[in-house]
Amino acid sequence: MRASSPIDRLVESLKRLPGIGEKSAQRLTYHLLGAPDAHVAELASALARLKQDTALCERCFDLTDRSPCRICQDPKRDASLICVVEEPADLVSVENSGSFRGHYHVLGGALSPIDGVAAEDLRIAELEQRVRQGGIREVILATNPNAEGDATAHYIADRLRQLSVAVSRIAYGMPLGGDLEYADHVTVGRSMENRRKVD
């Protein structure tokens, strides 16, 4: 077998990305070969620094290049509201809807017995700790509207029950089984507005 060429290596790497097949990988590779050197260098540098310069916020666990992140440090945001989401992409979705001006808490997934994800694999204890520290008036559970997201929301509501904090669940206008990450701005905004208190 011949040693793989730079072209083959890039095609192979690109094929590992979601939604990129052999054809797309080849098209991107040949596109880059014809692109200005500066553009290719910029892409290479951004890729090299992506993992190196990205960390988790010590407070909300969103991806950030500084900790605490910009949202946690923004004095114009309401620190007494915490919106709980599964993944950083869900946070982006809520943020883009413009419907929420509080703080966030990223769990790092949802409870899933099938996939072996238990409560201690998620940042639930850290959320509890934030609430215990005081100054939080409402925790808004914005986990996804599917079986795992619902189970996670119930579990967290239970854990927070004995603490003096209001707990609400956002009201999804999207079909059950949907994903916050892919919901449009209007739907996310409405879900946030119509959130219901969890008893």
Residues of this chain that interact with Zn ion (CB under 5 A) are 57, 59-60, 68-69, 72
Rg of the chain on CA atoms, in Å: 20
**CA atoms of 152 and 111, how far apart (whole Å):** 5
Specify the residue, 123 or 190, whose C-beta has the smaller distance to Zn ion.
123
3-state secondary structure of 151: helix
Specify the residue, 25 or 85, whose C-beta has the smaller distance to Zn ion.
85
Minimal distance, residue 106 CB to Zn ion, in Å: 8
Minimal distance, residue 57 CB to Zn ion, in Å: 3
Minimal distance, residue 79 CB to Zn ion, in Å: 11
Specify the residue, 72 or 94, whose C-beta has the smaller distance to Zn ion.
72
DSSP per-residue letters across 42-59? HHHHHHHHHHHT-EE-TT
Buried b / exposed e across 150-179, counting CB within 10 Å, b at 16+? bebbebbbebbeeeebebbbbebbbeeebb
Specify the residue, 45 or 54, whose C-beta has the smaller distance to Zn ion.
54
Minimal distance, residue 59 CB to Zn ion, in Å: 5
Q: Which token pair is 71?
A: 């949202």
